[in-house]
Chain A
Amino acid sequence: MHNHTSAEITLNINNEDRTVYVRNADTLLYALREKLGLTGAKPGCLNGDCGACTIIVDGDPMKSCLMLAVEAQGKSIITVEGLQNTAIQTEFIDKFAFQCGYCTPGFIMNCHALMTKYPDADDSVIKDWLESNICRCTGYQEIEAAIKAALAAAKGEPG
């Protein structure tokens, strides 16, 4: 039995293996931002309430403040830096679905995972998923418009 409270681990982030030395007590959010320079995931409540730190782990949205970095070994991690010109990013711009922008990466990651998993998501699914994120600027109408437009566009329907 070893007696270590920190370790060198490999994380697969945005389809790239990254080696990082972490304390076992480090959250994934902390490792991403402070050890790997990936500052897209935002620290908000650090308590799993606000969703600003949302990333995608094995296809599911996860609050990176609620996950230890050591728990993420062997999993596929996507951060907002790993998304480029996706449908949801385009619609966030088109619909002005941000104000101060702090919550935006978390919303985008959650919306992107939703679109991937449930391309036919109805209003109740959208509501259930998006309740996980808080926008202090209260720009919810525009965010809802963006996800609906992105879902419609993915199906070739007018947004």
Chain B
Amino acid sequence: MLSFDFEYYKPASIDEAVQLFQSLDRQGKNPSYISGGTELITLGRVNKIVTGAVIDIKAIPECLVLEKQGTQLVFGAAQSLTVVREKQFFPLLSKAIVEIADHTARNKITLGGNICANIIYREAVLPLLLTDSTLAVAGLNGLIQYPINDIFQQTLQLDRGEFLVQVITHKQETELPFVCLKKRRQWDVGYPLLTAAALNKNGQIKLAISGLCSFPFRDKRMEYSLNNRSLSMKARIEEAVSRIPAPVLNDVHGSAEYRVFVLENTLQEILAEWEGAGDA
């Protein structure tokens, strides 16, 4: 039960949505865009999100695109995680998605919703960071494409009134060898401890992590350490871990020390996948 009331709009075009936001904002209604809308309910019911107007983008055709366009794959932000996964255009993304929430919830959670979520995990971001995907963002200046590694800094850096329309990924990048490991404290269900996704491009490992810090990230310095083959595998991992770019989470799901321990072992698994057991 949500304790606050809001107006509900379902525009049929990008322009209508952008204009609607501006109008509602001028009226002081603190509008919010939704696609899956799950966080509106889960955070709204505990008053962590309050809005006076909701703009549902699920009727905007551009947000529902899911197709190969030449050398690119285009994913509409309002497509559910289940649909994106089942399309199997992008194996690493499908693998990351299958570990998000649960199957029924993924019928409602959308790709754009996961990228823009408040929840810290946002695992769908990891494959996009690794493949240097592009995000198409709508706002008053029209539809503009940004490299995800520029516009995603801890969270998606959108200006007020902007919303994510599409994710665009080069097909070639999606065909690279990958590893995606989700670690939970126990069993196969429950909240994750951390997720590490890695791509191997011409022998160079790219790494993105979620659940370790309070935001998903890809860190070039950590990647440099992992790829520094002048060091032993153990030393590479230790150096990478020393370069974690923000405080490690220390919460009920796992202490910071435990998370680092799990990360070290996960990195070892990733390196072993491509380089054998090594000298760790």
Contacts and interface: CB of A to CB of B under 8 A. Distances in A.
Interface string A31-73: 0000000000000001110010010000011110111101100
Interface in B227-280: none
B42 A66 contact: yes
A24 B55 CA distance: 12
B71 interface: no
A62 B8 CA distance: 21
A71 B10 CA distance: 9
Interface residues of B, number: 30
A95 interface: no
Nearest to B3: A25
A33 B230 CA distance: 65
B7 A5 contact: yes
A3 B24 CA distance: 10
B188 interface: yes
B5 A23 contact: yes
A131 interface: yes
Contacts of B145: none
B185 interface: no
Given A71-B37, A131-B189, A6 B104 contact: no
Contact of B1 (A27, A66, A70, A131): A27
Interface in B1-45: 1-2, 4-8, 20, 23, 37-38, 40-42, 44-45
Contacts of B20: 1
A140 B103 CA distance: 17
Main secondary structure of the interface of B (DSSP, over half): mixed
Nearest to B51: A25
Given A63-B104, A63-B108, A48 B42 contact: yes
Interface in A1-32: 1-7, 23-27, 30
Nearest to A59: B107
A145 B223 CA distance: 46
A110 interface: yes
B104 A70 contact: no
A5 B6 contact: yes
A25 B104 contact: no
Contacts of B44: 25
Contacts of A66: 37-38, 41-42, 105, 108
Interface string A141-157: 00000000000000000
Contact of A62 (B54, B101, B102, B104): B104
B101 A24 contact: no
A70 B8 contact: yes
A71 B56 contact: yes
B266 to A, nearest CB: 22
Contacts of A76: none
A5 B82 CA distance: 31
27 contacts: A1-B23, A4-B7, A6-B5, A7-B8, A24-B7, A24-B8, A24-B54, A25-B2, A25-B44, A27-B1, A27-B2, A48-B41, A48-B42, A51-B104, A63-B104, A66-B105, A67-B37, A67-B41, A67-B108, A68-B8, A68-B37, A68-B41, A71-B37, A71-B58, A128-B103, A131-B102, A132-B102
Interface of B: 1-2, 4-8, 20, 23, 37-38, 40-42, 44-45, 54, 56, 58, 82, 98, 101-105, 107-108, 188-189
Nearest 10 CB-CB pairs, A to B?
A5-B5, A132-B104, A25-B2, A24-B8, A132-B102, A61-B104, A60-B107, A129-B103, A66-B38, A132-B103
